[in-house]
A and B are shown apart, each in its own frame.
Chain A
Amino acid sequence: MHFRKQGGSNDMLNFSILERYIDSYLAGFYNTIQSSVLALIGSFVLGTVIAVFRIAPVKPLNWFGTAYVEFIRNIPLLLVVFFFYLGLPSLGITLDGFVCGTIGLAVYTSSFIAEAIRAGIMSVPKGQTEAALASGLTYLKTMRHIILPQAIKIVIPPLGNQFINLIKNSSILTVFAGFDLMYYGDIINTDTFDTFSTYIFVAMFYLLLTIPLSFAVVRIERRLARND
């Protein structure tokens, strides 16, 4: 039965798969959105904190920030999630695949976001910080009112890239039974044996998320440029 289906669908995209498995695709799509949004917020907050650590005028914070970024961004995402999924239980904390995948994704992406933000802040000439501090502003106020508003314009494009990567990387959840889009795609594939069609539809759902995000980034970029 399966073999006939396989033979028949080699030449074309098999839309009956989308029809038959729409519930699975949507369930996975929903979980992928959920995981991506949570990881996006988490990675942004964490990344900003780490970026501040790296540039703050406190040496131990610099060291911590550097160690965090260099450690996390130089190991595969898979291993980061493995740590949460298989390592944490030995410390008595058991979180399911969805939660571990999302946390791992947030932690992993935060290291790249920290670097993007740091680069943005560094690109604002140092003289401005010195001038602001000299005129009596505190370090935090200098950051908030002088440096960050300028840095954000430089940071938007690389941040957009990181968020697009994050959505695509959320497919790591499939390895940990995280019920995401790729997980359902894998299961549909083993059911239909029509690998091509199954994953084309998976790709389509990912594009539904990433393409609007790409456009949004471009628009924000333009709007910020206009304010100059």
Chain B
Amino acid sequence: MVRRKWKALGLLITLTAVFVLAACGTKENSDSGSSSPTTSASAATGGTPTIDAIKSKGKLVVGVKFDTRLFGLKDPASGNVEGFDIDIAKGLAKQLLGDETKIELREVTSKTRIPMLDNGEIDLIIATMTINEERRKQVDFSEVYFNAGQSLLVKKGSPIQSVADVKKGTKVMAVKGATSVKNIKEKAPDATVLEFDNYQDAFSALRAGQGDALTTDNAILYGMASQDSNYEVVGGTFTEEPYGIAAKKGNADLVNAVNEYLASLKSSGEYDKIYEKWIGETPLK
């Protein structure tokens, strides 16, 4: 008898839960149902739906790196995220919303950035992202905002001054699976490439004298050189890996606005200022 009572109670609770959840479901459905026609309508008339959405939200949500020196690095003391990418992002917020503080910086990694863009968690990716054909299928890119490329980091006074000096017996450090490994093997097929799990491990090994040079994007190498002044970036770049700002596919209005912003940044000289502030050199024209 008692057991049957409990069973009945359990059933009642389950049913209630189902009804409540179902009610929530319909509510959500009706919400999205009413809003979607307006979005498509404004898109059809050639308006600026994405920018309108950002304006009504009152802030621009940008996915940036929190762990990349010079481009997007969180200062553990102040909690502020700073870098080249951050300055570019703030300028864009000022252009779109009239105030550079109307911005929310979300941490992304190379793995999470495209999924986060796709599910609407972020409006844009400004996170040392190289433009390539593979990615063009998944996102819409702006014009190039930073000309990155693979380079070499060596100890000051090293006989290696460019990729041409990397010969048989030279130990070059890189990160496992990075395209930079393939590139250095093409440019210097006789070199020994030592691959590490991450840049910090590779740099530690270089500093311990376990190898002669470290290779990856110059952007990352400049960051390491700023950490330890005994090391320098040499020989310019031997690949072209242009960084772009990415928007969700189909958000043409936002990409256009970003491109206009980048053009104005360059013509006003503001771009050179940001570049020198972080990279320590003037950009090559």
Tell me the A residues contacting B by CB distance below 8 Å.
Answer: 1-3, 85-86, 89-90, 94, 96-97, 174-177, 183, 186-187, 189-191
Contacts and interface: CB of A to CB of B under 8 A. Distances in A.
21 contacts: A1-B134, A2-B134, A85-B208, A85-B210, A86-B204, A86-B208, A89-B208, A90-B208, A94-B209, A97-B210, A174-B197, A175-B196, A175-B197, A175-B201, A177-B194, A183-B195, A186-B197, A187-B177, A187-B195, A189-B177, A190-B176
Nearest to A96: B210
Contacts, number: 42
Interface in B175-217: 176-178, 194-197, 201, 204-205, 208-210
Contacts of B196: 175, 177
B208 A177 contact: no
Nearest to A88: B208
- Give the interface SS of chain A, mostly helix, strand, loop or mixed: helix
A176 B205 CA distance: 8
Nearest to B173: A177
Nearest to A95: B210
Range for the number of chain B residues in contact with chain A:
10 to 19
Given A2-B134, A97-B210, A177-B205, 11 more contacts: A3-B134, A85-B208, A85-B210, A89-B208, A89-B209, A90-B208, A96-B210, A174-B197, A176-B205, A190-B177, A190-B178
Interface string B131-164: 0001000000000000000000000000000000
Nearest to A186: B176
Given A97-B194, A177-B194, A177-B196, A89 B177 contact: no
Contacts of A176: 205
A178 to B, nearest CB: 9
